[in-house]
Amino acid sequence: MLNESFVGIDVSKDWLDVGWEPAGQSERLAHDEVAMVGLCERLAKERPYLIVLEATGGLETHLASALAAAGLPVAVVNPRQVRDYARACGRLAKTDRIDALVLAAFARAIRPQVRAPKDDETLELGALLARRRQLIDMRVQEKLRLERASPVQRDSIKEHIIWLTERIARLDTDLTHRLRSSSLWRDQEDLLKAIPGVGTITRVTLIALLPELGRLNRREIAALVGLAPFNRDSGQHRGERVIWGGRAQVRRVLYMAVVAAIRSNPVIRTFYQRLRAQGKPGKVALVACMRKLLTIMNAMLKYNTPWNPNALDLEHSC
């Protein structure tokens, strides 16, 4: 416990800023393959208790995959949580170095959950990363050849560079998928496919961005997504209940799913019509349907129960 160390890594397009707690030290590295390999080897020797990165729209995926493949404990967290933590601690200044140290302090104080890949998945992840490095090396070599190639060679080299770039992009997609999915999540997708209105994009988004689905109770999952109404009361004033925070991207796909479900899903359609008949505004009724659909899916995954339009009380069983 006294020797526990925590690492925060701020990832940008060109740089990796690494911070250590409780040492309070930081270091800047280039965001390239060589630096990432070296960082993984260094951290594998140091064996930190936890490494935390922010979700930055995919920039963090390759590094998080490499760290996980090296058997290191990695957590990718919501940037808003980190900024709220920083403000609560009075750390208002913001630079890449400060962000890395804040991430390390966040890891030390909050200790977010690590979802490490399974052993066989870790091996496959390492193999994919090795293949990605090979393709990058080949692309570098081809670009160097292109600079001094004769006219008769240039078309062939350009075609190969395009092919290599496409393969690398496909591998990046595969790495993201493997990092955020598992055989269990594939089983979950099979369950979700049967729900009218829940299409491919909704399923992929839920599996990728809401791994807690099926692990929490209905109130917790609604609050996590930002679909639980919060009180706005003070003294004798009773304000309107509003939803706030949560995972906006998940809410967006749930909204589209509910719009489709009102037409095709008898459970959601009946619920929506009843709310409207009671005088609820359309937006309020839609949000309530989103919450109902989410909690039904949560219960289905929690109990491994297939979709059944007649089991209307399923959502209240968890």
What are the start-end ranges of the E strands in the chain? 6-11, 15-21, 25-30, 50-54, 74-77, 233-234, 237-238
* Whether residue 139 has pLDDT greater than 90: yes
How many other CB atoms are there within 10 angstroms of residue 217's CB atom? 13
Domain co-membership, 205 together with 270? yes
pLDDT of residue 264: 94
Q: In this predicted model, what pLDDT tens digit does every residue of 190-211 receive, in sequence order? A: 899 899 999 877 887 787 677 7
**The domain containing residue 217 runs over which residues?**
183-317
What CA dihedral angle connects 244, 246, 249 and 253, to 10 degrees?
-80
Please, what is the average pLDDT of the chain? Answer: 85
Q: How far is CA 149 from the centre of its chain?
A: 43
CA proximity to 187, closest of 302, 64, 272, 38: 302
Final residue in a domain of this structure, among 60, 83, 110: 110
Query: How does residue 183 score in pLDDT terms, banded at 50, 70 and 90?
Result: low
* Distance from C-alpha of 252 to C-alpha of 268, rounded to nearest angstrom: 17
pTM of the entire structure? 0.58
Number of domains in the chain: 3
Q: What is the mean pLDDT of residues 69-77?
A: 90
Contacts for 88 with CB less than 8 Å, ≥ 6 apart:
none
Domain co-membership, 159 together with 204? no
* Distance from C-alpha of 254 to C-alpha of 202, rounded to nearest angstrom: 7
* Whether residue 240 has pLDDT greater than 80: no
More confident residue, 125 or 216: 216
Residue 165 maps to a domain:
yes
Domain co-membership, 187 together with 312? yes
